[in-house]
Amino acid sequence: MKGLLIPILFALGTAMCWGMYGPALGNARSTVKPPHPDFWSPFKPYVFIGVAYLVIAIAGGLIAMKVKGDTFSYSGAHAAARNWGFIAGTLGAAGALFLTNAVMSSKGNTALVMPIVFGGAVSVNAIFAYSQLRNSVNISPVLWVGMAFVIVGVVLVAKNTPHGAPAKPAAEQTPEAQKSVATTTDTGQDGADSPHSIPDKA
């Protein structure tokens, strides 16, 4: 169990970052509608998602490679790192693009989108592993039971996650405002200062 602690901690860190990815995108959506000059499309924040990928992935990757004593060659036997790394990055960026559109088109409803994303990701990973290993290992039928639970769990989480700001209570009137209302009411009843009052006939 001790040897699993570090991987679990890193996995939890990934879950925390990706779990906040959707809410961050929700905050990135425009609060006005076109043709308002302050409106922006869902793709404007996506550009800086790419910038973040460049900064963290390239700078972080190069630093980590140096720390681990790796070479900076991507040819020959190292070509697989280049090719599959590019494919994985493409999938990650495409997933970010899909998620951006999902969050924006749902008007920031991350309570709906995020459980589908992560529940679906677990299921896709399991199906891919099954397709690769079905002829070499015995697949437990519990796998399909677990995937069914994932679907049920996604629905339950999406339906019961709290979202939206609570309704604000009506503001209480200040004593000055109450006095002003009372004065206006009295004036209207007396009719002395009302512009619609009818003058007495002689």
* Non-local CB neighbours of 89 within 8 Å, separated by 6+ positions: 53, 57
Dihedrals φ, ψ of 140, to 5°?
-70, 135
User: What pLDDT, on the 0 to 100 scale, is given for residue 104?
Assistant: 77
**In the predicted model, what is the mean pLDDT of residues 98-114?**
81
Q: What's the CA gap between 133 and 103, in Å, rounded?
A: 34
Collect contacts of 196-202 with beta carbons under 8 A, ≥24 apart.
Answer: none
pTM, two decimals, is 0.63
User: What pLDDT, on the 0 to 100 scale, is given for residue 69?
Assistant: 93
Largest pairwise CA distance in the chain: 113
pLDDT tens track for 58-97: 999 999 999 999 999 999 999 999 999 999 989 988 988 8
For residue 12, pLDDT beyond 70:
yes
Of 33, 35, 44, the C-alpha closest to 100 is 44
pLDDT tens track for 130-156: 888 877 778 788 888 888 888 888 888
pLDDT above 90 as % of the chain: 20
pLDDT confidence band for 194 (50 / 70 / 90):
very low
